[in-house]
Amino acid sequence: MIENIIQRFSKAASMQRWNDHIRPVEFTELDKQAHKMVIAYVIARFEEDRMGPGSVDWISLIEGGIFEFLHRTVLTDIKPPVFHRMMKEKGYELNKHVFEKLERDMEGLDEDFQKRFKEYYLKQPNTLERRILRAAHYLATQWEFKIIYHTAPFIYGIDKTKENIENQIEDHYDLIGVQKILLGKKSFGFIDLCGQLRFQKRWAHIPRIPETSVLGHMFIVAATSYLCTMEMGVKACSKRFYNNFYAGLFHDLPEVLTKDIISPVKGSVEGLKEIIKDYEDFQMKEELLPLLPRPWHDDMKYFSESEFENKIKKNQEVVMGLSFQDLNEKYNKNEFSPLDGELLHAVDRLAAFIEAKLSIDHGIKSEELEEAAENIYSDYQGQKISGIDFGRIFNYFR
């Protein structure tokens, strides 16, 4: 059942990082993995630009990111130096422990997906995609560590940690994306802005436990959309998987410039929602897109503009308003670059519902939170969207 794995994703919002250091802000495993996948996208695009189309296996990159996220949700409490040594010396035993812990969560998921997850850790080939993820992991770690280091550079052993992180990044310096990011110019500016979405809390006006950031929410939507694409009853083309994941990962990207404006505020004044959307589009063009190479702009706009519309690309034009049936029967081919916006919207609302319900279940609730959860639930009660029984999923979390 997909519900179990979605619940596993959500728990990562409570998993603390660097909790043996002085932290000026809270760092969670969910946010780290989200930031890592943003950085991996940037590195992979640079590699593809350098080596040509088809040089990066995007499905392997996405699934590798999901696999590593799941792995860390089980072992995240182990300190990094200890973790890496244990993986080197007792990797088989640790991986077996992870498989056993996740067996129930992955029950009912696509069997080939489960098989690929195990092979990812049992075979561990040194592929380009794995190296990109490893580089992204250390760059995301370094981004966090810089904040910690400047807060308390006098802590015993902190310079050794700094050196270890820098050495790991240097081992991946042959990747052009790593070089670009370390220059500290435009590419770094993009991942730095994305990183700032860690500090923008969802439901900012309402007390909640666990608190979730906009960045963490984006990754949950991305990973869940990917799994739903796998489970929606049709063999989706690889570009559809790619689009559904990255549209999820970047769907709230404009909020780094406008902040997370809650739905009741957007709907409180007639036309305000449209004004906010126009301003977000303007800010994307003026502030965010210039940080990325121009050939990437179309993809980034495709992911973040009208992201909740089913759409394709045809004759270099974006065609929207298509039905799920149309996507399946007419446009389920890489050449059309299909994107399941309706699925993405349902997953986005599901993530919001789970955020509210988790807090309520922890005993931190308010009238606004309970009302929001009930309204979202009512919208999706008994609903089947893009081949997925969302009514059943909502019932599970209710």
- Reported as a single tens digit per residue, the pLDDT across 52-77 is 999 999 999 999 999 999 999 988 76
Taking alpha carbons only, the member of 37, 42, 40, 38 closest to residue 66 is 37
Bridge partner residues of 320 (DSSP): 311
pLDDT value of residue 262: 53
Taking alpha carbons only, the member of 358, 348, 356 closest to residue 380 is 348
Share of the chain above pLDDT 90, in %: 66
Confidence of residue 270 (pLDDT cuts 50, 70, 90): low
User: Helix 341-361 vs helix 367-380: angle between axes, to the nearest 10 degrees?
Assistant: 140
pLDDT value of residue 279: 75
How far is Cα 49 from Cα 45, in angstroms, rounded to an integer? 6
28 DSSP 8-state letter: B
Q: 27: exposed, middle or buried (C-beta count within 10 Å: 0-12, 13-18, 19+)?
A: buried
Other CB atoms within 10 Å distance of the CB of residue 268? 10
Q: 224: exposed, middle or buried (C-beta count within 10 Å: 0-12, 13-18, 19+)?
A: buried
Inform me whether the pLDDT recorded for 266 exceeds 60.
no
213 DSSP 8-state letter: B
| Cβ contact 237:334 at 8 Å | yes
Inform me whether the pLDDT recorded for 268 exceeds 60.
no
The tokens for 139 are 């760059």
Termini Cα distance of the chain? 16
Taking alpha carbons only, the member of 47, 37, 41 closest to residue 72 is 37
Mean pLDDT of 25-50: 96
pLDDT in tens, 129-169: 999 999 999 999 999 999 999 998 998 989 999 999 999 99
Inform me whether the pLDDT recorded for 260 exceeds 60.
no
Inform me whether the pLDDT recorded for 51 exceeds 70.
yes
Q: How many CA atoms lie within 13 A of 198 on its CB side?
A: 24
Tokens 């974006």 sit on residue: 318
DSSP for 224-271 reads HHHHHHHHSSS---HHHHHHHHHHHHHTTTTHHHH----HHHHTTSTT
pLDDT in tens, 306-359: 899 999 999 989 999 999 999 999 999 999 999 999 999 999 999 999 999 999
Q: What is the distance, to the nearest Å, from the Cα of residue 348 to the centroid of all Cα atoms in its chain?
A: 12
Query: What are residue 309's phi and psi, to 5 degrees?
Result: -105, 135
pLDDT value of residue 269: 54
Inform me whether the pLDDT recorded for 259 exceeds 70.
no
Query: What does pTM read for this prediction?
Result: 0.93
pLDDT in tens, 116-129: 999 999 887 789 99
pLDDT in tens, 168-182: 999 999 999 999 999
